[in-house]
Structure 1
Amino acid sequence: MKLNPRDQQIFAAVMSTYCNGEGLPVPSTKIAKLKGMAVCSATVRNAMARLEKVGLLYSPHTSAGRVPTDYGFDYWFEEFFALADIANYWQPAQTQLVELAHGLSQRYQVCCCVGLPQVRSQQVFRVEVLDFDSTDWLILLIDRAGQSHNICINKPDDASDTVRYQFATWLNTVFSQQTLIEGLYRMQAMANTAPRNCHDSLNQWTRELSQKLGSDNSIVVGENYLYKQIDCEQSLNIGVSFLNFVEDKLVFKNGVSVLNTENLPFSECNELIVISLPYFQNQEYQSRFCVICPKSAPIEKIIQEFKLIETSNS
């Protein structure tokens, strides 16, 4: 769709005015008074009528101001933002991810959901098996920085120190220089080489380790802001399953992307939009950083934050 320059200017002004955190219908008089418009209210009303006719705006009530349609939001993102060019191959430290999530949430009253796949992608340097108590061994999966993931597993029938040392040696062979998820696959593939006294328990241990270490994690901040600002009777399932949904929708898309209402899994709520950005480590995809917010949120400012990320990376 091609708008004439005047209609495009007025449409952009309507979007910026609507997306200011309040989400109120935008009257022509307000647009006419904006700095740099230099048009009268009648000119703005005529332009708004044309924008409504082509489906970009609508009027919720007679003689009320205009509100963007879903199509209007899609057009705005497509024509006014070079989203795919913003923050390509962003490679933040984990602390930066967490700080940004909290910062955006507090500044703009939005929800942030961030995938943290460090558990499955952590590379193991060595493994230790400790005698924890009368029923459990404690497995330490330690990376080069000395940080570890600690997992308790049930002892086998023969839990002598000799068997424990043999099992620790085998685990080091399996996990050494591997990521946790690769180590789990190797445990299954190399099960017949494990100490014989451990064979009966190995399937159970592999299953327990897989459940505790083989899945991604996430942080969610600011979810309470959504429930204060939107009309939604059911709680929203925001977490790893939501990130998986976004990944499926935006597979292979780099830079900033936006998912509008019809592309979201929140069937009971049509007021939300998602701004999503993939991040990488050593140029390998890790997960996504997502901002979930009402359509009335200050979207331009949020996208500007990601432009600042792009600048800081260059």
Structure 2
Amino acid sequence: MLDPRAQTLLKTLIERYIAEGQPVGSRTLSKFSGLELSPATIRNVMSDLEEQGLVVSPHTSAGRVPTPRGYRLFVDTMLTAQPLSDDAAVKFKVAHRLQAGQPQKVVAAAASVLSSLSEFAGVVLTPRRSQTFRQIEFMRLSDKRILLIIVTPEGDIQNRIMATQREYTASQLIEASNYINVNYAGLSFDAVRRRLRAEIDAVRTDMTTLMQEAVEASSEEASDPGDNLLISGERNLLEITDLSSSMERMRRLFDLFDQKTGLLQLLDVSSHAQGVQIFIGGESHLVPMEEMSVITAPYEVDGKIVGTLGVIGPTRMAYQRVIPIVDITAKLLSHALSQH
């Protein structure tokens, strides 16, 4: 635990470093902290904070910068996030972009909103695609390529391109989709597979083969977790000196986006928590950079958590501004997706 004087100086140091991006010296701390302390006293306190791992002094400067541990203490005990209700224009912009509509488009809009408002990267872990269907349709693309159109019970529309072993005419495809919709609508693809096997003697061979191929195409699509992650504005991070000053940092940064597994795990963990979660530096063990932070919040459909969204940016971000952006976007996305 820090005494009030040390807390005030650490809070002032972090706020000035976030605002200016330069190591903070004792003269700046004396000016902005509101404390009547001598430079020597401030240097002693800074030395104590450095011993506790809360700040560090770069070799090229007499000033100090916060460590991820210092940011964590700041966020947990000193930060007061301003509700977005105080900024009607920002709230209106989010609400306008997240109006009820086709779920895929609304979720994609959320990633874009997070990116544009934060000026960092916005990420959304999308709801896992429904394994049941309300209706399907086959559309012939070429001799052995068919577009499978799936309408989920939630009204979401999903498309798959299927490569078949034989050719189908347009009339055969219409007949197959009609049969499937009448007999199997509302079931999961696994349930359809089981029924097809049980009823294989009663169903025309061509129709069975077509449906099995559709099931396989859907299963393969659903098994790729990367497709459940939407990222917007990752190039914004190229403009941030804290991240782009090192080619090694940038390599790891873009590996993170290319290999989406770590982000998926992080967002999946966040979806089991309530409210906004803040991961600073390497403390999550999933974000590979000390200079990066992730702010997340779960979103719901009809009261049930179905995914997570968030902002990825530098540890030197204005947390008091970004936290409410993530929070209100999650709430408005939940509202839009719950409209029927």
**When the two structures are superposed, what TM-score results if normalisation uses the length of structure 1?**
0.77
Residue 252 of structure 1, CA deviation: 2.0
Alpha carbons 1:163, 1:197 under 8 Å: kept? no
The equivalent residue for 2:191 is 186
The equivalent residue for 2:230 is 219
Amino acid at match of 1:150: N
Alpha carbons 2:133, 2:151 under 8 Å: kept? yes
Q: How far, CA to CA, are the matches of 2:16 and 2:5 in structure 1?
A: 17
Number of matched residues? 300
Q: How far, CA to CA, are the matches of 1:174 and 1:11 in structure 2?
A: 67
Q: In the alignment, is residue 270 of structure 1 matched against residue 290 of structure 2?
A: yes
Alpha carbons 1:127, 1:141 under 8 Å: kept? yes
Q: How does 1:114-153 map to 2 (within 5 A)?
A: 114-117=124-127, 120-121=129-130, 124-142=133-151, 148-153=157-162
Q: How far, CA to CA, are the matches of 1:200 and 1:103 in structure 2?
A: 43
Amino acid at match of 1:48: M
1:236 paired residue among 255, 261, 276: 255
Tell me the percent identity.
22
Residue 289 of structure 1, CA deviation: 1.0
Q: How far, CA to CA, are the matches of 2:228 and 2:286 in structure 1?
A: 19
Alpha carbons 1:129, 1:168 under 8 Å: kept? yes
Over the aligned positions, Cα root-mean-square deviation in angstroms equals 3.7
The equivalent residue for 1:34 is 32
SS in 1 for 2:63: coil
Q: In the alignment, is residue 253 of structure 1 matched against residue 253 of structure 2?
A: no
Residue by residue, what CA displacement relative to the aligned partner does 1:243-286 show, whole Å, maximum 9, x if unpaired?
A: 3221354462121112233224454x431111111111112222
Q: Structure 1 residues 73, 222: closer, same or farther in 2, change over 3 A?
A: same
| Residues 37-46 or 220-229, more deviating | 37-46
Residue by residue, what CA displacement relative to the aligned partner does 1:79-131 show, whole Å, maximum 9, x if unpaired?
A: 23599xx9xxxx9766665555434434443111112236x138743223345
More helix by share: 2
The equivalent residue for 2:64 is 66
Alpha carbons 1:156, 1:201 under 8 Å: kept? no
List runs of 5+ in structure 2 lacking aligned partners. 85-94, 336-340
Q: How far, CA to CA, are the matches of 2:191 and 2:323 in structure 1?
A: 42
Residue 308 of structure 1, CA deviation: 4.9
Higher relative contact order (CA 8 A, sep 6+): 1
SS in 2 for 1:61: coil
SS in 1 for 2:256: coil
Residue 69 of structure 1, CA deviation: 1.8
**When the two structures are superposed, what TM-score results if normalisation uses the length of structure 2?**
0.72
Alpha carbons 1:111, 1:291 under 8 Å: kept? yes
List runs of 5+ in structure 1 lacking aligned partners. none
Alpha carbons 1:108, 1:297 under 8 Å: kept? no
Amino acid at match of 1:218: L
Q: Structure 1 residues 236, 136: closer, same or farther in 2, change over 3 A?
A: closer
Alpha carbons 2:110, 2:124 under 8 Å: kept? no
